[in-house]
Structure 1
Amino acid sequence: MITRFIRRRLGSFGFAFAGLRDLLMSQPNAKIHAAATVAVFIAAVVLQAPLWAWCWLIACAAAVWSAEALNTAFELLCDHITPEQNATIGRIKDLAAGAVLVVALAAALVGGLLLISLAD
């Protein structure tokens, strides 16, 4: 019974990783987020960021990636519901994209301020 539970949990990780792979392979903005994440993490290593800074950088990266994944899920769901132009669907997509923009800008500010402070 316990092994069955563990196998199912491990299986759910497989679905999650498949979703992340799909996100990275199908979404141009995810590639931009990936490049930015790698660049910031390399800068943090070079600048020998302390643990507290790593916590902020990781949290910001996770927030951006989560927002991008949810935005993509909303877009796919909306396109599945109706492929035709629809004002409400358009608003839903715009709101989801706006959420990604807010999170990405906040992450860029936090990351930029942290890295600048570490470079001094």
Structure 2
Amino acid sequence: MRRFLRSVAFAWNGVRSASAAQANMRIHLAAVIIVNTAGLLFGLSRMEWLAVVIVQGMVLAAELLNTAVEHLVDLASPQQHPLAKAAKDTAAGAVLLAAVTSVVVGLIVFVPHIIPNS
């Protein structure tokens, strides 16, 4: 159990570190707070919450992985290199796709609550 708790502490430190260092992570976390508040106000169903929580987790996980890739690339290749750029751009692309997917899911979930009979 102690080993598990240490692992959770290390993982939480990674989330805190990324939140402190990455403006995009803070933006995503703010979006989570706003969307969850809206979800509570609109009284989302269990299935709607499921969709929202899954895409939120997907975006936050993608942002954390992007941050890890950036750190690893910077460590391995301090100078500019086309492959380093490609690795960073690819990781950022994953975040973009996750974010766009979350917006689409958000529209599917929230528009019927905002515009009745839509």
Q: TM-score, normalised on structure 1? A: 0.93
Q: Which amino acid aligns with 1:24?
A: S
2:34: which partner in 1? 39
RMSD: 0.7
Task: State the match for 1:3 in structure 2.
Answer: none
Partner residue of 2:69 out of 74, 77, 87: 74
**Number of the residue aligned with 1:84:** 79
TM superposition shift of 1:118: 2.5
| Distance in 2 of aligned mates of 1:44 and 1:71 | 27
Q: Match for residue 103 of structure 2?
A: 108
CA distance in 1 between counterparts of 2:101 and 2:89 reads: 18
- Per-residue CA shift, 1:29-88, capped at 9, x if unaligned? 011101111111011000000111101100000000000000000000000001100000
Q: Deviations over 1:9-45 (max 9, x none)?
A: 1110000100000011110001110111111101100
Count of aligned residue pairs for this structure pair: 115
CA distance in structure 1 between the aligned counterparts of 2:107 and 2:31, rounded to whole angstroms: 11
Among residues 3, 7, 12, which one is paired with 1:12 in the alignment? 7
Where in structure 2 are there 5+ consecutive unaligned residues?
none
Check if 1:53 corresponds to 2:29: no
Q: Which has the higher contact order (CA 8 A, sep 6+)?
A: 1
Identity %: 35
Q: Which runs of 5+ in 1 are unaligned?
A: 1-5
Give the distance between the partners of 2:44 and 2:79, measured in 1 at CA: 49
